[in-house]
Amino acid sequence: MENTKRLWLLLGVVIAATMFILGWFGRELYRQVPPIPQQVVTVEGKRVMTRDDILRGQLVWQSIGGQQLGSIWGHGAYQAPDWSADWLHREATALRDILSIKFYHQPFSGLDSVDRAAVKARLKKEMRTNSFDGASGTVTVSSERAAAIGKTAEHYLALFGSDQDLAGLRESYALHRNAVPDPERRRALTAFFFWTSWAASTERPEMNFTYTNNWPHEPMIDNRPTTANLVWSIISVVILIAGIGGLVWYKVFTDREEQEPLCASTDPMDKIELTPSMRAAGKYCLTVIALFVVQSLLGGVLAHFTVEGNSFYGIDLSAILPYSVARTWHIQLALFWIATAFLAAGLFLAPAVGGREPRFQKQGVNVLFGALLLVVSGSLAGEWLSVKQVFNLENSFLFGHQGYEYIDLGRFWQILLFVGLVLWLILMLRGLWPAFSQKGHRRQLVLLFAGASTAIGLFYGAGFFYGARTHLTIMEYWRWWVVHLWVEGFFEVFATVAIAFIFTQLGLIRALSGTRAVLISSAIYLFGGIPGTFHHLYFSGTPISITAVGATFSALEVVPLALIGYEAWDTYRKTFVVHWMEKYKWPIRFFMGVAFWNLVGAGIFGFLINPPIALYYMQGLNTTPVHAHAALFGVYGLLSLGLILLVLRRLYPENIWNERPLAIAFWAMNGGLALMIGLSILPIGLAQTWVSIEYGLWYARSADFMQLPFLETLRWLRLVGDTVFLAGVGMLAYFVAGLITGWSYQTDHAGKKLELSPWQGKQRDLSS
């Protein structure tokens, strides 16, 4: 402990200080949320909508999939429009035409440039001026604006109903017919859309920018990047360069020769005895693969929606499986199989580390498995029923669809999942318990492992801090506590410590240097990562301080990622000094993949959208799924698969794997991911960025732009990467199935499975 005391202290201080920052600025965010008016009235006193309409509308939006169908304030799905930006543009266009007729008695298109400028000035004044009266909670609009609001609402009433004239537009949006059959619900939905657009176009009191910091870009009302947005962007780039520079210097000045680890002549893991609970974790591995297969196929279905709209070889696919359900399942299953893999790895490693089997551990593992299956099937079914509009609005949130991306599942299922995570935590800690009292540096790794697992379990609880009708800004704050703090915080620590742990177990690195490396990298990563949460909230109705903190700290997240690939490669080089390491070749290759995508997917593609000025134009464009796919699958997908392969390797330790399908799977999945991004999503995202800067976000997301032939072609090209990727997934499933049936093992001429002796790792030696 002596050698690492200061590092532990560093980690503790970093976590305490940065959580304080997250909470402190969270308080500011609470104080400055855009108001939801009690009512919106015209100057003549006619009521346009009430607070209840807006909040009910929010629930309606949530019930049809919310962020899984188009987006609000840039968060959500990318095929249908961003409803806030779309509403804003439609309302502004309608109001402009009304003002033009009123003051100049002719349509806007017929006006000369001076009159146009005058109309624009009136439009801007009308839409940007803040008429919210805090005392009465009233927003007052002119009768012209009320007319424009009414006209815009008509469009959405038709769109979410079954109006035949809009069938083509629905096709482009992959929006199913009659998505909200109840006209009263549809009307409430328009009130909610209006309010999100109102917050995006109305200036904060005493300020010259809107509640959403002038997002989205909309030249009609001069919604443009704020000064603060640009300044903090420049600062964030400088901080990144300084951070990377500092890292290089540190490396150069402190690069001492590490002690070479002692490589055992036999596999140290062979000493670990398989306990009943470790065997019981085997079914988790198969579940991971099964969920992964379904999840990837759903990805194929979604890609189909984007090119062919709602139909599939003549049948109306969207009537059975609406786009928003397919997308919800696609994302939720991704989280489920990744989480299941983590659970499996934890449950498998814990008794191995502790050195004995706690009582009833096996039963616990089985109960948890049952609970998991219940949550997966129950929540997916609930989401489908909700989008089908079966529930009343309250039950829809409880048992159906919360409408919030990554935490889509109904509240009831969310509670059950949380209970499952706590159960997992208890099982893990029970398994690890004996190791806490051991002496030496290994104990510290065990402590770190337990700490990361605890944080993963407990931080899911942040998702309970909002309810069905919570203000959108506040909901987003807590939602990103879960999503961001998981993927850019505690998952990352879990990954680092799990891999370090396995490598020390294999004798590839020493426990002391493993512990030091984990402590240092976790401290650096969390320092940027925890306040970095705010990079998701630049434009969600938050004050400027959120942009400042988010942009500067999250730039630092990229710094350690710059080194990670090199470190991994360095370890990898040392890997095959002993023959028995060959049998871990594939899990280790998957971990190498993790390091690669950590730099490319998380670091580079993450930073592409990270400076406030970049995200100002790109939020809600395809540049985000570029990053999300490369980081979520690249890092946590490959990590999960690597962990599963390691567990499977230990569960069936005797026989030699026939690794060809695994090699194909690995390269096809990585290559497919790169092709899908390089040939399709990234070019689409960049093309969208261009027009978003030129004409506004609404256009980058509009059917007019998205249906241009070259974009259609780019979406078709996605088929290439998707096919390669799916082939890889198929191969992986084939391989894992073969571990059960037997075809994934090498056999001799007589068909007998070849055995792997502890000192004979090299399959070549045996098979020749």
List residues binding ligand HEM (CB under 6 A).
74-75, 405, 487-488, 535-536, 554, 557-558, 602-603, 606-607, 609-610, 615, 619, 624-625, 627-628, 631-632, 635-636
Phi, psi (degrees; rounded to nearest 5) at 749: -65, -30
Q: Is 541 left (phi over 0), alpha (psi -120 to 50) or beta?
A: left
459-488 footprint of Fe ion as x/- string (CB under 5 A): -------------------------x---x
**Residue among 482 and 662 whose Cβ is closer to ligand HEM:** 482
Could you tell which of ligand HEM, Fe ion, none binds residue 609, using a CB distance below 5 to 8 A set by kind? ligand HEM
**Residue among 217 and 627 whose Cβ is closer to ligand HEM:** 627
Could you tell which of Fe ion, ligand HEM, none binds residue 602, using a CB distance below 5 to 8 A set by kind? ligand HEM
Q: CB of 249: closest distance to ligand HEM in angstroms?
A: 21
**Residue among 402 and 554 whose Cβ is closer to ligand HEM:** 554
In sequence order, the β-bridge partners of residue 312 are: 315
**Residue among 389 and 542 whose Cβ is closer to Fe ion:** 542
Q: Retrieve residue 430's tokens.
A: 């029970």
**Residue among 446 and 631 whose Cβ is closer to ligand HEM:** 631
Could you tell which of ligand HEM, Fe ion, none binds residue 606, using a CB distance below 5 to 8 A set by kind? ligand HEM
- The answer to whether the CB of 156 falls within 8 A of the CB of 25 is no
Could you tell which of Fe ion, ligand HEM, none binds residue 619, using a CB distance below 5 to 8 A set by kind? ligand HEM
| 311: enclosing H helix or E strand | strand 311-312
**Residue among 64 and 615 whose Cβ is closer to ligand HEM:** 615
> In terms of C-beta density within 10 A (0-12 exposed, 13-18 middle, 19 or more buried), how is residue 709 classed?
exposed
557 makes contact with Fe ion (CB under 5 A): no
**Residue among 261 and 541 whose Cβ is closer to Fe ion:** 541
Could you tell which of Fe ion, ligand HEM, none binds residue 628, using a CB distance below 5 to 8 A set by kind? ligand HEM
**Residue among 361 and 402 whose Cβ is closer to ligand HEM:** 402
CA-CA-CA-CA dihedral for 524, 528, 530, 536, to nearest 10: -150
- The answer to whether the CB of 555 falls within 8 A of the CB of 240 is yes
Q: CB of 241: closest distance to Fe ion in angstroms?
A: 20
Which three-class secondary structure state does DSSP give residue 211?
coil
Distance CA 73, CA 93 (A): 19
**Residue among 41 and 495 whose Cβ is closer to ligand HEM:** 495
Residues with Cβ within 8 Å of 10's Cβ and at least 6 positions away in sequence, in order, are: 519, 520, 523
443 makes contact with Fe ion (CB under 5 A): no
- The answer to whether the CB of 56 falls within 8 A of the CB of 393 is yes
Could you tell which of ligand HEM, Fe ion, none binds residue 624, using a CB distance below 5 to 8 A set by kind? ligand HEM
How far from chain centre, in Å, is Cα 399? 22
Could you tell which of ligand HEM, Fe ion, none binds residue 610, using a CB distance below 5 to 8 A set by kind? ligand HEM
The number of C-alpha atoms within 13 Å of 418 and in the hemisphere containing its C-beta is: 16
**Residue among 267 and 488 whose Cβ is closer to ligand HEM:** 488
Q: CB of 746: closest distance to ligand HEM in angstroms?
A: 35
- The answer to whether the CB of 21 falls within 8 A of the CB of 531 is yes
Comparing C-alpha atoms, which of 488, 486, 654 is closest to residue 556? 488
Q: CB of 631: closest distance to ligand HEM in angstroms?
A: 3
Length of the chain: 768
Q: CB of 632: closest distance to Fe ion in angstroms?
A: 11
Q: CB of 482: closest distance to Fe ion in angstroms?
A: 11
Distance CA 624, CA 681 (A): 9
The residue with its CB nearest to Fe ion is 484
Distance CA 305, CA 685 (A): 18
The residue with its CB nearest to ligand HEM is 606
**Residue among 613 and 645 whose Cβ is closer to Fe ion:** 613
**Residue among 528 and 761 whose Cβ is closer to ligand HEM:** 528
Q: CB of 531: closest distance to Fe ion in angstroms?
A: 11
485-524 footprint of Fe ion as x/- string (CB under 5 A): ---x------------------------------------
Distance CA 697, CA 88 (A): 11
Could you tell which of Fe ion, ligand HEM, none binds residue 345, using a CB distance below 5 to 8 A set by kind? none
Could you tell which of ligand HEM, Fe ion, none binds residue 672, using a CB distance below 5 to 8 A set by kind? none
How does DSSP assign 593-631, residue by residue? HHHHHIIIIIIIHHHHT-SHHHHHHHTTSTHHHHHHIII
Residues with Cβ within 8 Å of 90's Cβ and at least 6 positions away in sequence, in order, are: 151, 152, 155
**Residue among 358 and 603 whose Cβ is closer to ligand HEM:** 603
How far from chain centre, in Å, is Cα 336? 13
405 makes contact with Fe ion (CB under 5 A): no
- Please calculate the CA angle 380-381-385 and round it to the nearest 5 degrees: 120
357 makes contact with Fe ion (CB under 5 A): no
Q: Which residues of 372-382 are buried (b: 16+ CB within 10 A; e: fewer)?
A: beebbebbbeb
Distances (CA, A) of 603 to 217, 562, 597, 631: 26, 7, 8, 9
Could you tell which of ligand HEM, Fe ion, none binds residue 632, using a CB distance below 5 to 8 A set by kind? ligand HEM
Q: CB of 455: closest distance to ligand HEM in angstroms?
A: 15
Q: CB of 536: closest distance to Fe ion in angstroms?
A: 6
Q: CB of 24: closest distance to ligand HEM in angstroms?
A: 21
Q: CB of 613: closest distance to ligand HEM in angstroms?
A: 12
| Binding interface with Fe ion (CB under 5 A) | 484, 488
